[in-house]
Structure 1
């Protein structure tokens, strides 16, 4: 079984039944990741695997700290079939260091998991923050607004996402520019 097939099966086993909406979101994020394959080259499968796994830390079967990036990465670490780069992407997805700081877990996250390459971090951030909770496409602005509204502006998640918004939008712009640059290069002359 390849990495992406393994990732889909594991994510489905942890999310589909207990958290069907989170599963739908994860499938949508993975679909967005597949759409980026022209700019990712040989890392396309790696990003798709991380995308479908990025929220497994919400699963009641593995949630320990209540901070899903850390719980998901800890679960994946050392698991047969897990790629260390996927684990790092799950650990640090969508500005996780800022939320870890809000939760008093930044040292744990930084100490246990190195950051992955910035272009892949951007790509996963883009995929997550341009996908609704139901798995459909949206803009990063609409997604940030939806998260603030859902959790409330004064909650841990609300505060974190508002602090992260500039980086979320910047990453979405960087990925959008990479897609546009590739499209321009592919145009007949």
Structure 2
């Protein structure tokens, strides 16, 4: 078995291993949460699960079938994967172009699920970037009370997607906010998401010093609760998904990128914006 992605449990903060699966009829997600492994369909329907019970055995549960036990976790997972094709809940899922946006009728948590899946797919060869994205998404989820209810899933989806432009196959300009936004637009993702990715964390200030400002303004910038929360989530999450203060994050980025980097050259214009956005988020949380 090859696990091809990772995320963070939104409640426990523990790392979850992910495996993306597909057959001629559908796509699936296998989530290893430690003492529980769950197989879900594309619409988050639980198809099968196994859980560690007292004594160390693993009990497998398939809808409509008696539960059964295995002494080894891998055997329980093999049982799940071997039986899912026979499960009556395994309905067909029409294929889509890789990377394409969810169909227009899919909203809410489905948007987040597709954003997560795309991020883990394109950043599969850059696990640190994937870990950072998972951490930003977890932080964004915690900040959803600061944004309108209708935009909470947009915030978390943008948090997952904000760094996909680092993937080698998406690279065009070499400026990851712009490259990620171009990819999303080309694949039919909502304009609001494309704009948030393009302008996350004060990208316009870095674009100005790299000569890419004219290209970035193809995407709309709105300074609002969602853009503030996305910036705050990104700027309080370290390169491996760890929680940092804003000051720690700024020092870490300066050390990593160097004093002659575009990030450093944009520092004096960008940092006041980052601090202001973080301050507005704290105000909305009632922390100041």
Q: TM-score, normalised by structure 2?
A: 0.60
Distance 1:107 1:135 in 2: 32
Q: Does residue 106 in structure 1 map to residue 213 in structure 2? A: yes
Where in structure 2 are the equivalents of 1:23-102 lying within 5 Å?
23-40=130-147, 41-80=149-188, 82-102=189-209
CA distance in 2 between counterparts of 1:170 and 1:117 reads: 11
91, 101, 122: which one aligns with 1:14? 122
Distance 1:119 1:56 in 2: 22
State the 1:162 CA deviation.
4.4
| Matching residue of 1:133 | 239
* Structure 2 residue 111 is matched with structure 1 residue 3: yes
Q: Is the 8 A contact 2:228 2:278 kept in 1?
A: yes
SS in 1 for 2:140: helix
Using CA pairs below 8 Å that are at least 6 residues apart, which structure has the higher relative contact order?
A: 1
Q: CA deviation at 1:30?
A: 0.3
CA offset digits 1:110-139 (Å, max 9, x no partner): 1x1111352211111100000000101111
Aligned to 2:50: none
Q: How many angstroms apart in 2 are the aligned matches of 1:159 and 1:59?
A: 24
Point out where structure 1 has 5 or more consecutive residues left out of the alignment: 185-189
CA contact under 8 A between 1:148 and 1:162: conserved in structure 2?
A: no
Tell me, yes or no, if the aligned pair for 2:146 and 2:225 is still in contact at 8 Å.
Answer: no
Change (3 A) 1:157 1:90: same
Q: How far apart in 2 are the matches of 1:160 and 1:79?
A: 30
Q: 1:56 to 1:9 in 2, by over 3 A?
A: same
- Stretches of structure 2 that go unaligned for 5 or more consecutive residues are 1-42, 44-109
Number of equivalences: 179
Which structure has the highest helix share of the two?
A: 1
1:79 deviates by 1.5
Whether contact under 8 Å (1:148, 1:161) holds in the other structure is no
In terms of fraction of residues, the more strand-rich structure is 2
Larger Rg: 2
- Which of structure 1's runs of 4+ aligned residues deviate more than 3 A? none
Normalising by structure 1, what TM-score?
Answer: 0.90
Cα pair 1:62 1:72 within 8 Å, conserved: yes
In 2: Cα distance, 1:69 partner to 1:165 partner? 17
